[in-house]
Amino acid sequence: MELKREDFLAQYPPLYFLNKADVANIWDKEEIHLYVHIPYCAKKCGFCYYKSFPIGNAPIPDEYFEALKTEIEIYANMPEVQSKCLRSIYLGGGTPTLLSEKQIETLMMLIKSKFNFAVDYEFCSEARPGQETSLEKLRLLKALGMKRLSVGCQSTDDFVLESNGRNHNSKDFMDVFERARQTGIYCINVDIMSGMVNQSLESWLETVKTISDLKPENIAIYKLEIYLNNALYARYRKGNVRLISDAAEVEYARQGYGMLLDSGYRMADNFSFMLAPEYDHVHRREVWKGADMLGVGLSSHSCFNDYIYQNEPKLDDYMERLKRNELPVQRAHKITAREELIQRMVFGIKNLFFERAKFLEEFGVDVMDVFPEQLTSLEKQGFISIYPDHIRTSFEGAIFADDIVREFYMPEHRKTMLAHVKRPEN
């Protein structure tokens, strides 16, 4: 180092590193994602803990729909949002397909007129296996750009469906699946659930086989949990519901995962499977990688500008604030630098493949220097494999991903989870 007070510095990196190739990228819009919550369903399922209201065959209230449109317009007019473009739209619930065809078209045309879009954006909607998911509605959704339909089957055993408070049967699911195929939707996802009430191992494996034989592009496996705010919990307290043990459910998962892999599926993440990489779920994948997401609708949460925040959970409060033309945000948390590091690691494990170079590029430090003890321990236990340029989650790591990632949590976060019933030991 020479000390000569030479060459006054006013810029770093040096201007010599400017190049013509990067000029075209100066005004690229950063990609964000949009979640739209429709908190209504024909009947609330016994295990559901999401914010939703059963309305039977009644239409979705105009008052809520107008409030939702107002919230979308408020966001669309914000400079912070106008500088972005939408990479994905996700209609969730509740049951989005309870929206009328007119409401669906109005909603999507509003979004398309107010936001910038990435060229290859993904539009996904959830659907219930019911009459409201009609051929006409599916054709409209496809015409409006929907590429991915996610259908909640849960089980193909009608006794299991009834025991868990589902308001459809296996025939209803098959009918909706056939309509979706007839419509020519690019990607169909089917949700199934392990460890359900009155679900034997044989029933579970028959569900896995039946669904995999249909060859939907995606299959997602969720584990039944009885949360303290759902209808199954009330039955559980009265002694009318029995659950299999966690150890038994793990065996359900192992065998179910294995069957899907043997039938030609590959793991997309720790709970979902795809026939080929082109059917990967863009919305989930990118949000898990740290992309910003705006959540609109009652009780929706967002991650935007380094904040996690959530909308009003009470319907009257939500709509009243939007009548005053203000965003209905009820609570928020500023994500710290440490939490952001942990977030990338957690979802890297759940995504099954973690690129060390991208972590280094984003944070300026190698992940092995941030979490050396945790990563070394998980590798010794066979949950991950550590390579010079990436970290890969093993089959067993995928099964237990939501447990092992807690090793990276800050101490005050490790025991926090939604209140739910503990399964029996055996």
- Taking only the tens place, the pLDDT of each residue in 144-164 is 999 999 999 999 999 999 999
Helix axes 101-114, 135-143, angle to 10 degrees: 10
Res 383: pLDDT: 98
pLDDT higher than threshold 70 for residue 74: yes
pLDDT higher than threshold 90 for residue 71: yes
* Ramachandran assignment for 198, one of left (phi > 0), alpha (psi -120 to 50 degrees), beta (any other): left
Mean predicted confidence (pLDDT) in 171-199: 98
| Residue 88 contacts residue 117 (beta carbons within 8 Å) | no
pLDDT higher than threshold 80 for residue 253: yes
Give the separation between CA 161 and CA 170, rounded to whole angstroms: 8
Res 174: pLDDT: 98
Mean predicted confidence (pLDDT) in 73-91: 97
Mean predicted confidence (pLDDT) in 357-372: 97
Going by the DSSP 8-state scheme, the letter that residue 230 receives in this structure is S
Task: Summarize pLDDT for 85-107 with one digit per residue, the tens.
Answer: 999 999 999 999 999 999 999 99
pLDDT higher than threshold 80 for residue 206: yes
Q: Which fold has domain 337-413?
A: Arc Repressor Mutant, subunit A (1.10.10)
Mean predicted confidence (pLDDT) in 68-77: 98
Quick one: pLDDT band at residue 44, thresholds 50, 70, 90? confident
Whole-number percent of the chain with pLDDT over 90: 83
- Which of 153-156's residues contact partners 24+ apart within 8 Å by CB, and which partners? 153/129, 153/190, 153/191, 153/192, 153/207, 153/211, 154/191, 154/192, 154/193, 154/196, 155/192, 155/193, 155/196, 155/199, 155/203, 155/204, 155/207, 156/206, 156/207, 156/210, 156/211
Mean predicted confidence (pLDDT) in 9-28: 83
Q: Compute the CA torsion angle 152, 158, 163, 167 (nearest 10 deg).
A: 50
Give the separation between CA 78 and CA 294, rounded to whole angstroms: 12
Between 3 and 409, the more confident residue is: 409
pLDDT higher than threshold 90 for residue 244: yes
Res 26: pLDDT: 80
Q: Quick one: 371 exposed, middle or buried, by C-beta within 10 A (0-12, 13-18, 19+)?
A: middle
Give the separation between CA 34 and CA 125, rounded to whole angstroms: 12
Give the separation between CA 373 and CA 368, rounded to whole angstroms: 9
Mean predicted confidence (pLDDT) in 3-23: 83
Does the fold of domain 337-413 match that of domain 30-288?
Answer: no
Share the mean pLDDT of the chain: 95
Task: Summarize pLDDT for 379-426 with one digit per residue, the tens.
Answer: 999 999 999 999 999 999 999 999 999 999 998 888 776 678 888 887
Asked if CATH classification 3.20.20.70 holds for the domain at 30-288, the reply, yes or no, is: yes
pLDDT higher than threshold 80 for residue 66: yes
Domain spans of the chain, in order of start: 30-288, 337-413
Res 418: pLDDT: 66
Mean predicted confidence (pLDDT) in 26-35: 90
Whole-number percent of the chain with pLDDT over 70: 100
pLDDT higher than threshold 80 for residue 76: yes
| Residue 83 contacts residue 51 (beta carbons within 8 Å) | no
Mean predicted confidence (pLDDT) in 276-297: 97
| Residue 397 contacts residue 349 (beta carbons within 8 Å) | yes
